[in-house]
Structure 1
Amino acid sequence: MQKLKSFILESYDEMKNKVTWPKYSELQRNSVLVLVASLIFALLIGLMDYAFQTSMDLFYDAF
C-alpha cells in the first residue's frame, strides 16, 4: 500500500512541477491545426473511395 501511495504522490508532484503545460493560445492553435488536417485527410480518403467505387462500377458494368 505504501508503494501505491508513493507512486501517486510522485506522479502528482511530477505533473504539477515538472511538466510543461502549453498555454491556452498554443493549445487552441494546435487543436485547429489537427482539425483542419483531419478534414483534409478525410476528404482525400473520401475522394479516393469514390474514384475506386466509380471505376469498379464501370468495370463490372462492362461485363
Structure 2
Amino acid sequence: MGKVLNYINESFEELKSNVSWTPWSEVQRYTIIVAVFSVVFALATWGVDEMFAKSIATLFNWINS
C-alpha cells in the first residue's frame, strides 16, 4: 500500500512542478472554438443526412410508381 501512496504523491508533485499548464484565458478560447466547431460539424452532418434521406425517399417513390 505504501508503494501506491508514494506513486500518487510523486505523481501530484510532478504535476505541480514539472508540467507547464496552459493559461486559463487560452483554455477558455480553445474551448469556445471547439464548441463552435462541434455545433457547425453536427449541423453539417445533419444537413447531409437529411439530403440523403430525401434523395433515397424520392428514388424509392420513383421506383414504386
TM-score (norm 1): 0.91
Aligned residues: CA RMSD: 0.9
CA distance in 1 between partners of 2:23 and 2:53 (Å):
45
State the Cα distance separating 1:35 from its structure 2 match. Answer: 0.6
Query: Which ranges in structure 1 are unaligned for 5 or more consecutive residues?
Result: none
- 2:29 corresponds in structure 1 to 29
- 2:58 corresponds in structure 1 to 58
Divergent runs of 4+, >3 A: none
Secondary structure of the corresponding residue to residue 58 of structure 1: helix
Secondary structure of the corresponding residue to residue 38 of structure 2: helix
Query: Which ranges in structure 2 are unaligned for 5 or more consecutive residues?
Result: none
* Number of equivalent positions: 63
State the Cα distance separating 1:20 from its structure 2 match. Answer: 1.2
TM-score (norm 2): 0.89
1:22-62 CA distances to partner (integer Å, 9 max, x unpaired)? Answer: 11110111001101110111011011100110001101111
Given residue 21 of structure 2, which amino acid in structure 1 is its aligned partner?
W
Identity of aligned residues (%): 35
CA distance in 2 between partners of 1:3 and 1:19 (Å):
23
